[in-house]
Structure 1
Amino acid sequence: MGSLQGHNIVVVGGSRGVGRAIVETVLSEGATVLAVARGAADLKQLAWERPRVKTLVADATREAAPDAVFAALRPDVLVMSAGALAPSAPVQDQNWEDFSANWEMDVKASFLFCKAALQGGLKPGSRVVLISSGAALSGGPPNSGGYAGAKRMQMFLAAHSQKESDRLGLGLRFMALAPMRIMAGTGVGQGGIAGVSAYLGISPADFLASMTDVQTHADVGRAVVALASCQAQGISFTVSGSGLAATA
């Protein structure tokens, strides 16, 4: 414990689900933590339960969001965990707004914050971790619209941003972390489980029972701590029940 003592960590999308698990884990490691989210009520609850956590209400897809967040706490480690609920319908039954939901939220927010980091928003040595998904590698279920593509784009974005940091000599580290299995206990996870199981014509319980090597929220939090505090080589990583691993 205490591996992140003296570190400032910002978790965008930190009020619920995986983001909240990350907040709680890095807080337990001694970091100063700012949780950013759109929902004031969820942030208020988080602050009541974890008084050491700083909070900021902000929409991460707004152009001005990175400046507001970095003004509230300049991070040594920035974690982008904000994400939209994936659609849950066959492609032919979706409209473009449904299909592009994760591009307009997950990818746009990641893009804006990576851009701000490269433009001088973060000091040399800072790290940026984009929370992707195992769907980026597997293709995801066929009723999830642009979700898998959006999560893959976050991996590409981390790689592109790293190349720019290296080219410009900025000393920043960009990484993408993909939890490999869908997780119950969050709005996004529960929605995905319900949608996929209905599409497959099985019960949510049977769908969950079919999965192996499933990571927990705590596993994701520990993976973020590892990426924040060690010198692991690589840009894209996965986390499963077996632990953290670099992608090939």
Structure 2
Amino acid sequence: MSVKDPAGTTVVVTGAGRGFGRGTATAFVRAGARVVGLGRDADTLEKLHAELGDAFVPVPGDATDPARAEELLARYAPATVVLNAGAAPVMRPLQDHTWDTFAANWEVDVRQVFHWLRAALTQPLPPGSTVVSLSSGAALRGSPLSGGYAGAKATIRFVSEYAAAESRRLALGIRFRAVLPVLSPTTDLGAAAAAAYAAHQGVDEDAFVSAMGPLLTPEAVGAAMVSLAAGEDQDTLSYLLSAGGLQPV
């Protein structure tokens, strides 16, 4: 079996209970992998376990906990890690934010990626492993209603690229990639953001969504994650992900 073939490998997915994480976990199980799914909501993980069977291992917990990152990487030595967990941003104009609401995605999204990438480098993960960090298209375009969200997601991309450089320098053979999904109302987070932007612009929500064109779905994200884990591209470090697929950025 090729080390690039997800079948028969172990995959860790954070934020696995909902949205893009759920789509990713499902896609890897259907590709023949065992998926260790980490999330805060034990009930949601158990429902996914009932749907996917024993190939999905539910692990309730906090993805920002460095000890949990070290424990799961050491226990499972996964071939692929997909870091999807993140806080739902508070959607309001800048002047209506507090520092706590503004910084929420720094304290969850960035903190998670920092701890997991650090653990992947220091253990280290086996050569040939792939670690994918979910950023956002907002990292390229901004997101004026979501406080520090866009900046946090841009930092995730930078940190992933820093880790890739360290993997090369230390000859670890670990691939680090950042994926920047476009806004999509097919998840709870995306639906809330679309509703907020439609209201802020004074347009009908259905019209706002219709103008977005083809929508990125959790299923499409899952397929893209499987493709990325199985791919041979050694040069591209970051990808924009839309309904049309992965595009290097």
Letter in 1 for 2:112: A
Deviation of 1:68 (Å): 2.7
Q: Indicate whether 1:235 and 2:237 are aligned.
A: yes
Contact 1:84 1:101 in 2 (8 A): yes
Q: Deviations over 1:32-73 (max 9, x none)?
A: 111110111111111111112111011011221212322442
Letter in 1 for 2:109: D
Contact 1:75 1:122 in 2 (8 A): yes
Q: Which consecutive unaligned segments of at least 5 residues does structure 1 have?
A: none
Contact 2:14 2:84 in 1 (8 A): yes
Partner SS for 2:85: coil
Deviates more, 1:77-86 or 1:117-126: 117-126
Letter in 1 for 2:25: V
Q: Show the counterpart of 1:85.
A: 88
Q: Show the counterpart of 1:202.
A: 203
Match of 1:179 among 178, 181, 193: 181
Contact 2:186 2:216 in 1 (8 A): no
Contact 1:13 1:37 in 2 (8 A): yes
Deviation of 1:178 (Å): 1.1
Letter in 2 for 1:168: L
Deviates more, 1:70-79 or 1:165-174: 70-79
Letter in 2 for 1:219: A
Deviates more, 1:25-34 or 1:207-216: 207-216
Instruction: Write out aligned runs for 1:89-168 (5 A).
Output: 89-140=92-143, 142-168=144-170
Deviation of 1:91 (Å): 0.7
Summarize the Cα distance change of 1:36–1:121 in structure 2 as closer, same or farther, 3 Å threshold.
farther
Partner SS for 2:146: coil
Q: Show the counterpart of 2:73.
A: 70
Letter in 1 for 2:40: R
Letter in 1 for 2:215: V
Q: Show the counterpart of 1:9.
A: 11
Contact 1:219 1:239 in 2 (8 A): no
Query: CA–CA distance in 2 between the matches of 1:186 and 1:243?
Result: 17
Query: CA–CA distance in 1 between the matches of 2:167 and 2:194?
Result: 38
Query: CA–CA distance in 1 between the matches of 2:123 and 2:74?
Result: 13
Partner SS for 1:174: strand
Using the size of structure 1 for normalisation, the TM-score is 0.94
Contact 1:47 1:54 in 2 (8 A): yes
Contact 1:3 1:30 in 2 (8 A): no
Q: Deviations over 1:67-113 (max 9, x none)?
A: 23224422110000001111211111100110011111111101100
Summarize the Cα distance change of 1:121–1:10 in structure 2 as closer, same or farther, 3 Å threshold.
same
Contact 1:56 1:69 in 2 (8 A): no
Letter in 2 for 1:24: T
Query: CA–CA distance in 2 between the matches of 1:84 and 1:32?
Result: 26
Contact 2:66 2:116 in 1 (8 A): no
Query: CA–CA distance in 2 between the matches of 1:46 and 1:74?
Result: 22
Query: CA–CA distance in 2 between the matches of 1:125 and 1:172?
Result: 5
State the Cα RMSD in Å: 1.5
Query: CA–CA distance in 1 between the matches of 2:200 and 2:90?
Result: 12
Count the aligned residue pairs: 244
